[in-house]
Amino acid sequence: MVVMKENFWNFRGNDSLDRSHIPPTPIWIAIIRVVQLLFALLTLILVAVGASYFGSSWASVGITAFTFALTLIHIGWLAISILAFPIAYNYWAQLGVEIASVIFWLASWASLAADGSALGTIPTYRGVYPGSTDTGRYNTAAGCIKGAAGVGALTWLLFVATLVFFVISLVQYRKAKAPAAGTTGPEAGEPKPGHELSQVPQQPQAYVQPDQYGQQVPPQQQFQPQQQYQQQPYQGGQPATYPQ
């Protein structure tokens, strides 16, 4: 069981190819991919047998052929990109193809089931018309359409399972690659990347050392009070003389 959980590309050993951008893909997923491809091929063969009798003008025949081509490209691209050319792999592209495969396989087996259920009532009436084909060939072709619907439903369930696993694996992979919360940022005392604080050098401040002996404040200029003049009375009508 431990071996089944290992990445399926480990059997290649150390091939010096960088697969660090690829989410984990255990061996059991690779086995499911092979089963998906075989079921898709079986569905196409059954539809081809039915179309050889009823014709290929049905919508279910066309959509099944397209879905098989999509499945072949999907699984082939995964195998080649992961094993031989990891640079061609992108997990967002795989997510898109996984979703598309689920949608188209649902549409394929649903349309086949609708056509198969309609074919079940025809043999009762075909035998009464002149020139009608034998009932055996008709029943074989109708059975192939119904069988294709059943195999297509199983293939759809397998693609749903691989889609769910891939989404879970992708979420865990991205969480493991993301930096752990709390290791950076203001909470840890470290600035976030791209937001480093620029250190501005401090300007030296001029420091004036006081005079060791102190500065003597020059004495204020002393003003002598002005000489007061005493008013002298008039003598003989002549103004009194003032001292100079």
Per residue in 102-161, pLDDT (tens digit) is: 999 999 999 999 998 888 655 455 554 444 556 778 888 889 999 999 999 999 999 999
198 belongs to a structural domain: no
pLDDT of residue 22: 83
Residue 142: give the domain boundaries.
Answer: 28-123+135-178
149 belongs to a structural domain: yes
CB contact at 8 A, 24 and 10: no
Q: How far apart are CA 136 and CA 142, in angstroms?
A: 10
Question: pLDDT grade, residue 244 (50/70/90)?
Answer: very low
61 belongs to a structural domain: yes
96 belongs to a structural domain: yes
pTM above 0.75, yes or no: no
Query: CA 236, 239, 243, 244 torsion: positive or negative?
Result: negative
64-67 contacts at long range (C-beta below 8 A, 24 or more positions apart) = 64/108, 64/111, 64/112, 64/148, 64/152, 66/104, 67/40, 67/101, 67/104, 67/105, 67/107, 67/108
Give whichever of 15-19, 86-90, 188-192, 207-211 has the largest mean pLDDT: 86-90
88 belongs to a structural domain: yes
Query: CA 12, 14, 19, 23 torsion: positive or negative?
Result: positive
19 belongs to a structural domain: no
Domain count, the chain: 1
pLDDT > 60? residue 208: no
10 belongs to a structural domain: no
218 belongs to a structural domain: no
Across residues 92-109, what is the average pLDDT?
A: 96
User: What's the mean pLDDT when you consider all of the chain?
Assistant: 76
